[in-house]
Structure 1
């Protein structure tokens, strides 16, 4: 059998109830002890008063003034079972059934305190075996010491405690129940943010929400932030996978369309090509249109320099000058392979259309890194710039090409939350401005 509950709520509730019971038990013991001490002190004062009256009847020579004792008769009577006794050098006087006191207890209490003066407590039993509580004092006289003692039934101390016990236990029981209920309510209220956090995770998993609310208790704030980061990373990974599928589908569209034209007069193969085309379009439709965040860090300078050098070798016959002005700390939150694909087409277009030079530079705006690729070629008219980024459209029919280059660049850029703008340089050439999420790199 498992003693410790498996749930946090059960553990906290059990600990709260146990702590409450322990605290109230200790409190009850302290209250009973305090009550007994207070009652005992009241009885002791009454007994000390009797001893003081008895002491007034003792002469300096140790003789007992019986007339004085007779006069004090009513004052010395406190009720049934209350007794007194005077033991002098010559005689003993007092109640006939004065109880036997514990002499050892008296000596320990009296001598253990040192120079303490006044009555000391002592316990004993009467002839019926009932416990009594007494006070006694040794009084020095010319004839020797005189012992004065007064006793009371132990019941006069125990009875008030018993009378107070039932209401006190009822009070402690009521407090226990109230505190237990308060502890349960406190645990339920305190753990409610965990329930809300669990529901928020369920909402993300089921697609009802994209992130966990940020208004969390301090203890759960870091967990919520980490869960949001994990959700963003998962979204980014999923978007990147879908983006790759979309890019592959785009790359296949033109060959498939060409194949369909060539096989249009062959029904069997044409149906298979149509089926392939339908599958491509299906995956294009499912491809997501953006990425929320990214874990990648790609240094823009080295990546662009390598791309420019490679593409320049492909166009070595044109002797195009390439000017690169990129800060070493500039980077983008883009996968390195995707960044190469994003930058490859703009640089290749600039190399193919430039007359003598191209420039590549970066600008920083808040959390965005703008990468500007400009050439001194003929440029693209304003009316055709949107058309240039349409899939399958080629503005320049010379040479090889599919018309999907800038379209793929635009889609990849938008997948990472960026944008692409086609504009005109001061010299009339084409300027491509790519805006991507910025990332610091070493």
Structure 2
């Protein structure tokens, strides 16, 4: 838009200045012709025998050279005087057009010259016979001067336009630089490298930054309140469910089974909402970057004690970072490891590797258990998708991992393990160092 407005303004300026210059040159030429006309009429007179005379020659020497571009002529009935420069021609009578704002006309002259002509009819003091007097100048010099001026004006305005465009570009670049910084800062937040917009900002952008930070704080507080309320409600329901489960054992067998099934269904719902409350931490964990190794080692120690009677061999290779909430990482890895330990015969392996180029944390959990057929893997990652109803658990483990990973724009893939069992490949953001 700045380029369009500058082009229009400079174009209008070029036209205006060119027009003013042309008028100025025309006025200068016309004043020169008026001076020549006055000098010529002062030198005209009638002789006693009725002939038109020129009492003194004009001072301009161009009138003496044929087709020089300067001409004069005086015509009366039966009398004609003209400059030597007209040679064997006469002053043209037909005007091509008038010159606006002046008494001059443009006429076609000798040798196809374009003449600027001032012509009037006068009456000399010695006779009442009218005399038509004309003086003319070739417009070649005028047009050459105008072309030279337009060329110089065009280059000057072009240079001015380029300078102004560079100034506008610099103004836009430096003036809008804070918005580019803001976009980069928002990108960093989206990549979970920052949790707020910090740093120094220009006065014009500072109110926007303050409002965005206020909104982020408000959302974080609202999210934390929602998580806490969901967790409190779920935990509050667990106690009545435990009482109902105990009381069901004293009921007759059909009624006890029905109550137990309903209690189990309610427990699943409680576990589901607790998982959702924990998974919501992904949105609130922007800007965090934690080491994954300590969390893995803490989980393996706990699971080794939990499954101590089976004497499982749990191997760990853990190096890398996770861009998110530590509790969410523990929740995901805990479900994967617990699932692997439940089905493993003797070995469980967990490998953590950080891909710094892609900023990803890759987690591979394997076991030597019976594995899982390909058609059952999708069911295993859905809520309450239990392949073995006799096994312990609510059927939420892999579904919780999938849901939390999706909150971080990660993924979970199930495949075959080199150990013979199931391999769970989890990809999570590692953030920037």
Normalised-by-shorter TM-score class? 0.3 to 0.5
TM-score, L = length of structure 2: 0.47
TM-score by length of 1: 0.46
